[in-house]
């Protein structure tokens, strides 16, 4: 399937989302990979992960980049050789890339009931406003996770904790944006967060 959705939150930032409907073979035939990237995808045991990896390279092409334009630092954070900022995510049959002049982070997650089992591992302050009996509880938990994951990717600091250092301000199911904070080493950092839902998935992206 071609590009699923394009979002332009501001003049400096673009988000592109891909719905992964193609086979591994079809995805592989239409991209050119660096040797290290080829070794990586061939070494993946899951075809789902292979297709996610390759769909991200198709998204890069949608932005006018190739795999050769992408590299990773010692913390695993992706970078583009032209200096633009980038963040990457994929979950099951969706992937997304955000490119900006600003520092950014993005995450996609499938909405699944089992997130409630691990909520205590990534939520602290947010329990004050969460309602476990609400019909949209799982969706809200998923949104909070996505927000915190996008912050983690943006901040990219070893030792940063979802639970201890990332705070998501209350939001309603009708909202498509909120404010989140990183409270780390006696400093507070405020970020604008946008999120959306589609086909049982949630996507959030943070812009510095």
Model pLDDT for residues 16-57, shown as the tens digit of each residue: 999 999 999 999 999 999 999 999 999 999 999 999 999 999
**What are the angstrom distances between the C-alpha of 57 and each of 2, 37, 70, 173?**
13, 10, 9, 32
Q: What is residue 73's predicted lDDT score, i.e. its pLDDT?
A: 92
Q: How many Å separate Cα 65 from the centre of its chain?
A: 19
* pLDDT at position 90: 96
| Whether residues 96 and 113 fall in one domain | no
| Spatial distance between the Cα atoms of 173 and 161, rounded to a whole number of angstroms | 25
Clarify whether residues 10 and 80 are in a common domain: yes
Average pLDDT over residues 89-99: 97
Confidence of residue 191 (pLDDT cuts 50, 70, 90): very high
Q: Are residues 64 and 7 in the same domain?
A: yes
pLDDT digits (tens, 9 = 90+) for 135-150: 999 999 999 999 999 9
* More confident call, 7 vs 208: 7
Domain range holding 163? 107-207
> Looking at the 3D structure of the chain, how many domains does it have?
2
Q: Say yes or no: 86 and 114 in one domain.
A: no
d(CA 119, CA 144): 10
Mean pLDDT, the chain, whole residue set: 94
Are 148 and 121 in contact by the 8 Å Cβ rule? The answer is no
- Residue 112 sits in the same domain as residue 91: no
Asked if 189 and 180 touch (Cβ cutoff 8 Å), the reply is no
Q: Using one digit for the tens of pLDDT, what is the confidence trace for 73-93?
A: 988 899 999 999 999 999 999
**How confident is the model over 178-187, as pLDDT tens digits?**
999 999 998 9
Rounded to whole angstroms, the Cα distance separating 196 from 204 reads 7
Whether residue 111 is found in the same domain as residue 67: no
What pLDDT, on the 0 to 100 scale, is given for residue 1? 55
The angle at the Cα of 19, spanning 98 to 59, to the nearest 5 degrees, equals: 40
């Amino acid at each position: 399937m071609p590009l699923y959705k394009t979002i332009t939150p501001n003049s400096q930032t673009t988000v592109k989302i891909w719905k992964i409907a193609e086979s591994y073979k079809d995805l592989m035939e239409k991209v050119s990979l660096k040797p290290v990237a080829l070794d990586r995808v061939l070494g993946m045991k899951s075809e789902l992960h292979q297709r996610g990896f390759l769909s991200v390279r198709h998204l890069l092409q949608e932005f006018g980049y190739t795999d050769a334009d992408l590299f990773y630092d010692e913390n695993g954070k992706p970078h583009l050789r032209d200096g633009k900022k980038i963040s990457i995510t994929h979950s099951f049959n969706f992937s997304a890339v955000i490119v900006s002049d600003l520092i950014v982070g993005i995450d996609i997650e499938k909405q699944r009931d089992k997130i409630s089992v691990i909520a205590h591992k990534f939520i602290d302050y947010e329990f004050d406003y969460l309602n476990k009996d609400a019909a949209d509880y799982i969706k809200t938990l998923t949104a909070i996770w996505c927000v915190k994951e996008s912050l983690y990717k943006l901040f990219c600091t070893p030792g940063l904790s979802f639970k201890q250092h990332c705070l998501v301000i209350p939001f309603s199911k009708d909202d498509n944006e909120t404010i989140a904070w990183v409270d780390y080493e006696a400093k507070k950092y405020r970020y604008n967060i946008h999120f959306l839902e589609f086909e049982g998935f949630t996507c959030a992206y943070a812009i510095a």
